[in-house]
Chain A
């Protein structure tokens, strides 16, 4: 399988000298195209830092990240921004929609920023899949948490990115809404060949993924293929992380 995102010996150090903290301590990992990967680990294990580095939001101290065939090291801020705009999608824990825009405008925002016109058939497909058709004119404040997160998913999908990063996408949702969002992420991988990398600490959420990558103390601790909530919990117990 062709890897969509690759990390090679990633190191991220905060501070210097005695007070230096290694958030990432030599992480090497590959994320296959059309695969749904969950990254798990306790607080402070470096999972968020890893995601930020993979997505080009943060620059690693050393090591290399590749999205598709593009290496991120040495890219200017502008080049990184354009890369995020065209090839990366985001879904955040706290929804992160712009309060001044309607749901529809939020969905089209990345294309708007790039000055591109949305493909109406694709837009229609995404909106229908996420069941947002009659919510497009509402502002975020008028939507429920689940609806807001579905808008965020639609926004991420609109540009048909190489990879979607989801940072604790169910953290602020009740279990029913959470399940809806996770099912959508999985179906977008299965049916649309989308690549998704999700950071979570919830074994149930990780159970929707094709593969789980476990992090501890800034290193890769191990991985599970075709996980279930049960197998994830067992792994965590055994590993004692």
Chain B
């Protein structure tokens, strides 16, 4: 029987090629997704958790929650701990990391103060793998008199390698060093946008004046797990007070500090792998089922010449296992290539995709191979079993036209309805659930369950939908289109299964687009929440103010959007001592965003005021009441309370009045500070130049900037989104191959029928058009269902996001982009049909009629 099975493989080369292609593609998709996923994971953590790279265990001081790194009084890890950790068995290398203050002096001779912190100094650990940063240019210091500076600062200040740079040490002495290189720290929340100067370790201690390290990190020897290493370090004497974490915990903590969706990211990668599995299963199952159904006659012949049922069945198993194994191996290689090609493709289109080496792990190979072989065998089992049940003679003598099984079982219908109901309930529950991530889990679950329902209902949905879409072409193109409609409807089970793969792809594309479009609409708001202003202009010394001409110059700049001066001083209101202040228009509700208890901040104008809810009792007033503010001139102004706000987490005065009233009552020399946001779409360099131009004349003014950091962060988020797009592109590609494959098979299956039509007077062109129309109808079916499902669940997910974010965010449905998917889906399906259509049209009529 083995010989018969193998001979069989050799015989049917065309069909074998097609089925192998299907398996190969399915496996390629799984392998490609796993490979890309692993690469994405690496890229993600090297972007957002560069400090945890190669770290197996990390020892931090008892309370690592410091507001500003490197204040000399912060707790630290003494050098003795480093020595102890080094001696732990299983530690390949250990290093101390030092973070302290080391203000760097800029090209203009002033201390560079980007962000909220003065410059930071770090040491360079001896172990290259444990540094936590990469060398961007030049080389690291190899003497006490040399330093390296972070590449952003070096670029901003136009530093050149080999020049002298000056650093203020902890005792206030300015020390000069030679710049030997620049370093790349990734996105690191700890350093923010501050300048970072890297010293040799001893120099680092002497500049920053820190008593010890901020963290001791260790790398495990091969074969020692992170957990084991952490346990051993914890058992060292005197480690009781220290926090010891695994490298994984450190990475998650760092990534969480930088962005707030680490967990979702990891989950998303897993979900993609699952999607890849499902699509691959559908494509493989489909092809193999069709193939074996076509071979019913051949199997019957085997039975006629004396093969037992068991032998036929066993032969099918061997055959499918061999095909599965060979094609899966090819698929793993193809997947690797596909992942690589897609990375390059997206990079070519300008998406900033990490170009690290693709990660092909043994697990990836094992999973992909297992999927290929098992699904192939499983897909051939059912049809093989039904084939062995047919009486041999009946199968041989019967009509060879494919049997059309249009009946849909009650069981299927019932299961589908139950699933649809369960999925809907789960989704709604998920949308209401605002605790952590569980809402998304419920929606994802609900989505999958609903999807299964649609798949199960496919044979019921397909015929009417195809009839609907086929109506117009039938009117326009006549008989050819009507034949195509009839063909597309003829086997609802197969059409449903064929289009399922494309439907999954389109569903995900749509869902993804809705979520991304909404996320991008919301993400500017989200970043703005964490980093509300781009620039903050302050007077360098206490008691000084930002002069009105500077404020006016800033407000006149086109590159700057919101320029809001802030004023505040202590005053008496209703007899109580409070802080009275004013904030320029534009910033309120944007970069300064308190929780509104009642009324609206927009109503605060001449003669009216807003009050912090915690001061209502002290002031003895309420919404609609009055506050009488004593002015320095000796008078008192009664203001009506039009807004009550809660200033928790926001810097707000106790009593907020309008800028006009403030200037009249208190006559300040200038603003305490100015909150600035760049105009929409203006790049950081331009807005920075505008701020510098307006403030440059006044040496006392200090500019804090976050624009670069924000732009950087937004860029990294977009990069992650681009990667998801890459994976989805892969899914759609595989689905299209699946459609092409099924069409080709159905063309082969209908060789005789096509020949008959040609004999009756169907021209080659008409035959091609008929098959293209068929593909078009199947694509429309998949696209219609996919876009419907995708839009609904995208909307549900965005709603859950908004709920969990406390009601902030917007649902944005990008109609133009979705319309583009319709066009892409249809064009791609037509492209997929070109080969089968040409093949059918080429076949000679007589030869095709003769073929059984």
Q: Is the CB of B489 within 8 A of A100?
A: yes
- Tell me the count of chain B residues lying within 8 A, CB to CB, of chain A: 30
Is residue B274 contacting chain A, with contact meaning CB distance below 8 A? Answer: no
CB contacts under 8 Å to B, within A84-117, are 84-86, 90, 92, 94, 96, 98-101, 109-110, 112-115
Cβ of A176 to closest chain B Cβ, rounded Å: 20
With A77-B764, A113-B762 given, is the CB distance from A99 to B846 under 8 Å? no
Residue of A nearest to B767 (CB): A81
Contact of A90 among B401, B482, B760 (CB under 8 A): B760
Give 4 new A-B contacts, CB below 8 A, not counting A78-B764, A99-B401, A115-B478. A57-B845, A98-B486, A98-B757, A113-B479
Q: What residues of B have a CB within 8 angstroms of the CB of A141 in the complex?
A: 404
Q: Write the B744-760 contact mask toward A (1 if CB under 8 angstroms, else 0).
A: 00000000110011111
Distance A98 CA – B759 CA, assembled complex (angstroms): 13
Report Cα–Cα, A114/B479, bound state, in Å. 8
Cβ of A82 within 8 Å of any chain B Cβ, yes or no, is yes
Task: Contact check, A115 vs B479: say whether CB atoms are below 8 A apart.
Answer: yes
Contact, CB under 8 Å: A90 / B759: yes
Instruction: Give A48-73 interface residues, CB cut-off 8 Å to B.
Output: 52, 55, 57-58
Q: Which of A81, A92, A101, A155 has the most CB of B within 10 A?
A: A81
CB–CB B761/A101 < 8 A: no
Q: Is the interface of B mostly helix, strand, loop or mixed?
A: helix
Query: Taking the complex as formed, is B636 at the interface, i.e. its CB lies under 8 A from any CB of chain A?
Result: no
Provide the bound-state CA to CA distance between A96 and B760, in Å. Answer: 11
Q: Write the residues of chain B forming the contact surface with A, with a CB cutoff of 8 angstroms.
A: 399, 401-402, 404, 478-480, 482-483, 486-487, 489-490, 752-753, 756-766, 844-846, 849
Interchain CB contact under 8 A, B478 and A112: yes
For residue A112, which residues in chain B have a CB less than 8 angstroms away from its CB?
478-479, 482
Taking the closest CB of chain A, its distance from the CB of B756, in whole angstroms, is 5
Inter-chain contact total with CB atoms closer than 8 Å: 71
- B490 in contact with A82 (CB, 8 Å): no
11 inter-chain pairs at a CB distance below 8 angstroms, sorted by A residue, are: A58-B846, A77-B764, A78-B765, A81-B762, A85-B762, A98-B483, A98-B486, A98-B753, A99-B402, A99-B404, A113-B480
CA distance A141 to B753 in the complex (A): 15
Task: Decide: B486 and A82 in contact? CB cutoff 8 A.
Answer: no
Residues of A contacting B765 in the complex (Cβ-Cβ under 8 angstroms): 78
Interface residues of A (CB under 8 A from B): 52, 55, 57-58, 77-78, 81-82, 84-86, 90, 92, 94, 96, 98-101, 109-110, 112-115, 141, 155
Contact A81-B756, Cβ < 8 Å, known A113-B479, A141-B404: no
Q: A112-B478, A141-B404 are in contact. Are A100 and B483 (CB under 8 A)?
A: yes
A4 to B478, CA, bound (A): 32
User: A52-B846, A77-B764 are contacts. A96–B756 as well, Cβ < 8 Å?
Assistant: yes
The CA-CA distance from A77 to B761 in the complex, in Å, is: 11
**Is the CB–CB distance between A100 and B487 below 8 Å?**
yes
| Minimum C-beta distance from A200 to chain B (A) | 17
User: How far apart are B836's CB and chain A's nearest CB, in angstroms?
Assistant: 18
CB proximity of B307 to chain A, nearest CB, Å: 27
Docked CA distance A118–B48 (Å): 73
Q: A113 — which chain B residues lie within 8 A by C-beta?
A: 479-480, 757, 760-762, 766
Say yes or no: B490 contacts A110, CB within 8 Å: no
Q: How far is the CA of A85 from the CA of B480 in the complex (A)?
A: 14
Q: Across chains A and B, which 8 residue pairs bring their CB atoms closest together, nearest first?
A: A85-B761, A112-B479, A100-B486, A81-B763, A58-B846, A96-B756, A100-B490, A84-B761
Residue of A nearest to B403 (CB): A141
Please give me the residue from chain A that is nearest to B850 by CB atom. A48
Task: Please name the residue on chain B nearest to A51 by beta carbon.
Answer: B846
Given A101-B486, A115-B478: A81 and B399 within 8 A (CB)?
no
> Which residues of chain A are within 8 angstroms of B483 by Cβ–Cβ distance?
98, 100-101
Contact: B845 with A110, CB < 8 Å?
A: no
B843 to nearest A CB, angstroms? 12
CA distance A84 to B752 in the complex (A): 17
